[in-house]
Amino acid sequence: MKAAFLKSAQPRRLRRQREGETAMHGTGPERKPSERALYEIHEDWERFTLTPYLEQKIRLIGEMLPAGVRTILDVGCGNGLITNALTGRAWTVGLDWSRAALAFVKAPRVCASSSALPIRPGSFDVLLSSELLEHLDEESFRSTVAELALTAPGHLLFSVPNAENIHVNELRCPACGRIFNASHHQRSLTAASLAALFPGYRLAATAVGGQPVRAYPLPLLRLRQRLGRRWFQVPPRRIVMCPQCGNRDFPRTPHNPLSFLFDGLNRLISRRHPYWLFVLLERRMGTHTD
C-alpha cells in the first residue's frame, strides 16, 4: 500500500507543522509554553509502558473492532503502545503531532495534527482515537471532529476517560498560580456526547474498562481544594508542565485535617467506576461523502 493513503503535498499545512516544531516561544520569566511543548517531553512518553490496565484496553479495542477490518489509522497514537499491538490484527498506521511520541512507534507513522489530517478520505477501514479528544483546545477539537467524519468511511472507534470530572486532577502551579488539569484534559465526554458529535454515524457498541476511579462532587472537591488546600498530587517520576509558565516543579503537599475530612466524606457518598469508555460509531447508510 505504501503511502497511497497520504493526500498530495499541502504546503500550507506542512508549513504550519514546521512552525509548530518550535517548542517554546517568547522570552523572559513569563514565557508561555506552546501547546505542542506539553507533548514533546521524551521522558514523559517513555514512562508510558504496558500495564495490566493497558493490556485490558488493547484487548477491549481488539474486541470492539468490526469483523473483517483490514486497515486502521490510529489518530493521536502517542508512543504507539496500542498501535504497535494492533499491527498483528490489521495493517495499522500511527498518526501524531508529537515527534517525541512517534519515536516509540514501530508501525508506519505520520507526523501531523488531527485537526488537518493529510489522509485521503476512505483510505482506512477504521479510524481509532484513544485518549485524544479530551486533550484538544476548542478550535482543534471542532476541526478534529470534522476531519474524522470526513476521513472515516465506515467506523470510528474512540477511547476517552469515562464522563470524567476533569477538576479532580487539578493542581495549582506554585510558580504562577494557574489552576489546570494535570493531564491537560479540556473536556468530559460520554457515549451520548460522542455520538452527538457525529450525526452521520450511529452508536454501534460501548464498553468500559480500566482502573476504577472515585467520583467527587464538585462542591465538596472545591472545599478540599480551597479550604483544605489539597490539590492533585503528582506521582513520583511523572512529569507535569504548567501550561502558563512551563514550571515542572510541583512539590507534594501532606494531608491535613480538613483534606482528610473532605476525602473521608467523599468516600462515604461517592462510588468508583472504570476510568475508560470505549465507543464504536458506524456510518449510517447513504451518508458517504466520497
| Partners of 25 in the β-ladder | none
Question: Is residue 178 at the binding interface for Zn ion, with CB under 5 A as the rule?
Answer: yes
Instruction: Please report whether residue 247 would count as binding Zn ion according to CB under 5 A.
Output: yes
Packed helices 218-226 and 257-269: angle between N→C axes, nearest 10 degrees: 170
31 binds Zn ion (CB under 5 A): no
Q: How many residues does the chain have?
A: 290
Q: Which is nearer to Zn ion, 93 or 182 (CB)?
A: 182
Candidates 100, 149, 242, 281: give the one binding Zn ion (CB under 5 A): 242
Contact with Zn ion (CB under 5 A): which of 111, 146, 207, 245?
Answer: 245
In sequence order, what DSSP letters do the residues of 160-220 get, joined into one string?
Answer: EEBT--TTTTEEE-TTT--EEETT-----B-HHHHHHH-TTEEEEEEEEEEEEEE---HHH
170 contacts Zn ion (rule: CB under 5 A) = no
Considering the rule CB under 5 A, would residue 175 count as an interface residue with Zn ion? yes
- Residue whose C-alpha is closest to residue 264's, from 223, 204, 235, 233: 223
Nearest distance in Å: CB 151, Zn ion: 36
Q: What is the contact mask toward Zn ion in residues 124 to 163, using x (rule: CB under 5 A)? A: ----------------------------------------
**What is d(CA 79, CA 99) in angstroms, rounded to the nearest whole number?**
9
From the CB of 65, what's the least distance to Zn ion, in Å? 41
The reply on whether position 171 binds Zn ion by CB under 5 A is: no
Smallest distance from Zn ion to CB 107, Å: 36
What cell was used for 4? 497511497
For Zn ion, give the closer residue by CB, 97 or 250: 250
Q: Which stretch binds Zn ion (CB under 5 A): 170-178, 192-200, 214-222, 248-256?
A: 170-178
Quote the radius of gyration of the chain (alpha carbons, Å).
Answer: 20
Q: Which stretch binds Zn ion (CB under 5 A): 94-102, 149-157, 167-175, 279-287?
A: 167-175
Cβ burial, residue 129 (10 Å; 0-12/13-18/19+): buried
Q: How many residues bind Zn ion (CB under 5 A)?
A: 8
**One of 17, 71, 244, 270 touching Zn ion (CB under 5 A):** 244
For 40, phi then psi, to 5°, come to -110, 25
Strand stretches in the chain, DSSP E = 71-75, 91-96, 109-111, 126-130, 155-161, 170-172, 179-181, 201-214, 272-283
Site for Zn ion contains 176 (CB under 5 A): yes
Binding site for Zn ion (CB under 5 A): 173, 175-176, 178, 242, 244-245, 247
